[in-house]
Amino acid sequence: MKILNAAIMLLLLALMAAISTASTDKQAYIVRMDKTKITNKSLKNMDGFMSAVPDKMLSLHTTRSPFFLGLTGKKGKNGPWSGSNLHSDVIIGVVDSGIWPEHVSFRDHGLSPVPERWRGTCEKGTKFSPSNCNKKLIGARYFYGGYLAAGEKINETNEYVSTRDASGHGTHTASTAGGNFVEQANLFGVANGSAAGMRYTARIAAYKVCWPGCSTIDILTAMMKAIEDGVDVLTLSLGSTSEAVPYWQDYLAIASYFAFKSGIFVAFSAGNSGPWAYTAVNTAPWIMTVAASTIDRSFPAIIKLGNGETFEGSSFYTGKALKGLPIVYGKTAGVTGAAHCIPGTLNPKLVKGKLVICEPGDEYMTQSERGEQVKLAGAAGILVMSTVGEDLANEPHVLPDILLGTSSSKAVIKYVNSTKAPIGTIVFKGTTYGNRAPKLAAFSSRGPNLAGPDVIKPDITAPGVDILAAWPAETSPSTLESDKRRVSFNIVSGTSISCPHVSGIAALIKSKHKDWSPAAIKSALMTTAYTIDNKGKPISDLKSHALATPFGIGSGHVDPIKASDPGLIYDITADDYISYLCSLKYNESQIALFEEGFIECKKEQLAMQPGDLNYPSFAVNFNRKARNVTITYKRTVTNVGIPKSTYKVSVEAPKGAYVIVRPKVLSFKKLNQKLSYKVSFIGLSRKKPVVNSAFGSLMWVSGNYRVKVPLQ
């Protein structure tokens, strides 16, 4: 079987760091380069060996959203959630930290038998047996050979050596993508309502790879097993930091290509390293790379300072107001490090019964961990400061809290530092709706795409701030061991959470358009995305409230209603991607990692520009000093809307460039007809070199169809 051969080849790639069996064996056969005399040279003598790259340890990137997305309410009438679109069996593979199988979000009431095409299984492990699976959760596997090979150990005191989820991350993402419709879901009474996955009738297959670190070898093995099992969609809310490597050195890019070739839609989170440029990860063009943005729900808390100034922040706390309490910060709260609430730095005598300010620091601590230190010191509440952007993506603290954006944080600290006896009152407002949204989260990783600058990344943005979804019964909402609270649903933020939104929506589209390729689904999602918020203004960036650009939101915010009927699609085949790799000047052995039996690039493939890939966006990279230079790219669109239709082009040229489209009109005579057009970008003369990117758009218009792609 070709896929199996590909999996073996990929595992040979991993040999330089470790070789692990699939999770059915559960024994790690380890070959460590730093403990043996195995070298790259000796590996080359092995039959079938092609290349080796070191293993990496990755990290997890981690309800109102169905309504906000238009799946319910007036917009959703006859839409993707209408009965006829939910009958087909779509299987979503979730590669993450596992799943809590008993959760109400994964019950199988009313579901038909498991699809006969399903080839997966449910593996036995710690507190997990095959009987934990049902007609909803149809697959459960776990992989840890790479994790052990990296020198890590699984702490079985607080981790399950099985697919059972201990961290909560995998349960949350799985339910966001395909969890059941559950009434009266909430966290401590806030965000009360109905929780539902984007494709709530989907089948789910869980592949546990995080312990809590996630080895690329384990992820790769899980992805290849998911392909063999027969999933339709793969969602992966994990990734590295912004370390750009060529696609041929990226395990996950290679595995994702095999998934694409098998007809599987693959979505990855873009990462939470924003707002800095060049931080987006998981950027191969056959991957849907997802950014994170807000929805129109918030959890406001108001702090009033002793000088009368008031600032709005965020809190999930619903208790009584904290009135007129002293505020301490830094030296007035303890020793060096107290400003960051590092363990052992807060003085109980100085903070007891007071409000403590905590700032982010260089050390890695979550908001909740800082809050734990404040509570242990006896404080009444915590003021969580932000130093980057106006994000109000909060966490469920173990004491009363308020999270403030950067501008408010600076004002509060200025007041505290200039006042002899600073005081504050915090009032908690619960849940509010109808706020301006979406806004790009400051934490969401940004382009440009270092690995492939001719492809704009991220591709799209989706809800990823303060999202309510399922949570394990034995894991505290803060994930702190000292936190004895238990909940059925939790609120989490991150591109980890936006990613399964898009994966679930892709499953919806797959239900309606069963013959569409992963590239067609991706095109539909991208070309129908919107860039205007619910107040009629361009989507803003919480980095500074400036306008969001394609380097933050890609094509825009996902719109499942319009994506289900896009009019035109930009389709891409596996052969197209091989031609793209040739255009990147990858050599034969590098491309053979993607395409078994590949011999050499053809002349026409070598002559292709990377920008000629039939991608639903244009990234044009002029030399900074270029004047009157013309770059021309070609695109082909397929009619999937009305059989006889005419589309006219509308262009908003990026500043500093002139754009010519030929032809300006596309006339289709039937469905699935393909027509091509060319776009010429002319760099205009300028006195000074262009340093920053400029953006525009190209849109094909026909009746109610608006098929839009970004220009950079």
Catalytic residues: 96, 169, 496
What CATH number corresponds to the domain at position 254? 3.40.50.200
At residue 199, does pLDDT exceed 90? yes
Q: What pLDDT, on the 0 to 100 scale, is given for residue 58?
A: 63
Residue 592 lies in a domain: no
Q: pLDDT tens for residues 203-231? A: 999 999 999 899 999 999 999 999 999 99
Confidence class for position 18, pLDDT limits 50, 70, 90: very low
Confidence class for position 621, pLDDT limits 50, 70, 90: confident
Confidence class for position 387, pLDDT limits 50, 70, 90: confident
At residue 202, does pLDDT exceed 60? yes
| Same domain flag for 166 and 251 | yes
Alpha carbon distance, N-terminus to C-terminus of the chain? 42
Rounded to whole angstroms, the Cα distance separating 209 from 228 reads: 17
How is residue 557 annotated by DSSP? B
At residue 84, does pLDDT exceed 60? no
Instruction: Give 292's strand partners.
Output: 462
Least Cα distance to 117 among 220, 261, 232 occurs for: 232
Q: By mean pLDDT, which of 48-62, 87-101, 149-163 is the weakest?
A: 48-62
More confident: 33 or 270: 270
Q: 3-state DSSP call for residue 11? A: helix
SS (H, E, C) 353-370: CCEEEECCCCCCCCHHHH
Q: pLDDT tens for residues 450-502? A: 899 999 999 999 999 999 999 999 999 999 999 999 999 999 999 999 999 99
Q: By mean pLDDT, which of 11-15, 33-37, 143-147 is the weakest?
A: 33-37
Q: What pLDDT, on the 0 to 100 scale, is given for residue 41?
A: 47
| Same domain flag for 282 and 187 | yes
Share of the chain above pLDDT 70, in %: 87
Q: Tell which of 398, 430, 462 closes a domain.
A: 430
Q: pLDDT tens for residues 602-618? A: 998 988 999 999 999 99
Average pLDDT over residues 509-533: 97
More confident: 3 or 550: 550
| Same domain flag for 381 and 405 | yes
| Same domain flag for 198 and 286 | yes
| Same domain flag for 148 and 180 | yes
Residue 601 lies in a domain: no
Helices marked H in 124-250: 145-149, 169-178, 216-229
Q: pLDDT tens for residues 316-365? A: 999 999 999 999 999 999 999 999 999 999 999 999 999 999 999 876 78
Confidence class for position 85, pLDDT limits 50, 70, 90: low
Q: Tell which of 400, 430, 460 closes a domain.
A: 430
| Same domain flag for 208 and 340 | no
Q: Tell which of 564, 598, 632 closes a domain.
A: 564
Average pLDDT over residues 270-276: 94
Residue 591 lies in a domain: no
Say how many domains are in the chain: 4
Q: pLDDT tens for residues 30-73? A: 222 222 333 444 444 544 444 555 666 665 554 678 888 888 76
| Same domain flag for 268 and 130 | yes
Q: What's the Cα-to-Cα distance from 696 to each of 448, 464, 655, 709, rounded to whole Å?
A: 15, 25, 8, 9
Q: 3-state DSSP call for residue 672? A: coil
Rounded to whole angstroms, the Cα distance separating 167 from 174 reads: 13
| Same domain flag for 660 and 624 | yes
At residue 26, does pLDDT exceed 70? no
Pairing, β 460-463 against β 401-403 = unpaired
Rounded to whole angstroms, the Cα distance separating 261 from 247 reads: 16
Residues with Cβ within 8 Å of residue 298, at least 6 apart in sequence: 314, 392, 431, 432, 435, 466
Mean pLDDT of the chain: 89
At residue 624, does pLDDT exceed 90? no
Least Cα distance to 616 among 554, 573, 670 occurs for: 554
Q: pLDDT tens for residues 280-295? A: 999 999 999 999 999 9
At residue 183, does pLDDT exceed 70? yes
Average pLDDT over residues 81-93: 75
More confident: 32 or 115: 115
Q: By mean pLDDT, which of 36-40, 112-116, 624-628 is the weakest?
A: 36-40
What CATH number corresponds to the domain at position 384? 3.50.30.30
Q: By mean pLDDT, which of 22-26, 299-303, 408-412, 702-706 is the weakest?
A: 22-26
Q: What pLDDT, on the 0 to 100 scale, is given for residue 440?
A: 98
Average pLDDT over residues 75-91: 67
| Same domain flag for 239 and 335 | no
Helices 251-261 and 574-583, interaxial angle, to 10°?
Answer: 150
Q: What pLDDT, on the 0 to 100 scale, is given for residue 35?
A: 29
Q: What pLDDT, on the 0 to 100 scale, is given for residue 65?
A: 85
| Same domain flag for 206 and 181 | yes
| Same domain flag for 422 and 537 | no
**Six-digit token pair at 207?**
């592949």
Rounded to whole angstroms, the Cα distance separating 167 from 471 reads: 9
Q: What pLDDT, on the 0 to 100 scale, is given for residue 463?
A: 97
Cβ atoms within 10 Å, residue 88:
15
At residue 592, does pLDDT exceed 60? yes
Instruction: Give 59's strand partners.
Output: 239
Q: What pLDDT, on the 0 to 100 scale, is given for residue 545?
A: 82
SS (H, E, C) 21-51: CCCCCCCCCCCCCCCCCCCHHHHCCCCCCCC
Confidence class for position 236, pLDDT limits 50, 70, 90: very high
Residue 65 lies in a domain: no
What CATH number corresponds to the domain at position 651? 2.60.40.2310
How many residues does the structure list for the chain?
712
Output the pTM of the full model: 0.91
Q: What pLDDT, on the 0 to 100 scale, is given for residue 14?
A: 44
Residue 231 lies in a domain: yes
Cβ pair 193, 186 in contact under 8 A: yes
The domain containing residue 323 runs over which residues?
300-430
Helices 518-527 and 495-512, interaxial angle, to 10°?
Answer: 110
| Same domain flag for 205 and 269 | yes
Angle at 441 between CA 440 and CA 446, to 5 degrees: 80
Least Cα distance to 440 among 460, 455, 420 occurs for: 460
At residue 4, does pLDDT exceed 70? no
Q: What pLDDT, on the 0 to 100 scale, is given for residue 25?
A: 31
Residue 346 lies in a domain: yes
Residue 407 lies in a domain: yes
At residue 244, does pLDDT exceed 80? no
Residue 504 lies in a domain: yes
More confident: 12 or 538: 538
